[in-house]
Amino acid sequence: MVKLRAFQAAAREDGFIEVNGVEDGSAVWLRNRLPDTGTNFHKRLCLDGLTNSATIYWQTVGAHCNSKTFRTVTSLQEWLESHPHS
């Protein structure tokens, strides 16, 4: 649970807000407040308590959906810095 809080803090620093959680507390969904430029799509982020990971979903120009899973908070932060929403 501590790792998920760290993932959540990193996501909030990048402008993510909580959308909903799973009743058993094993997952939390967030979305970026601002849509990505060019796609008008809000990145989504799933924090998974069963795998202690974070998976981000985003759309590229041309409507291709992509995802990437992170096992460390540092790797998520680095990815977010290199993929700004604006």
10-residue mean pLDDT series, the chain (86 residues):
85 90 77 84 91 92 88 95 74
Give the per-residue pLDDT at 78.
Answer: 95
C-alpha radius of gyration, the chain, whole number:
12
Give the per-residue pLDDT at 24.
Answer: 66
> Which sign, positive or negative, has the C-alpha torsion 6, 43, 20, 24?
negative
Q: Closest Cα to residue 29, out of 39, 37, 38, 18?
A: 18
What global pTM score does this model have?
0.85
Query: In this structure, are residues 79 and 70 in contact, taking their beta carbons and an 8 Å threshold?
Result: yes
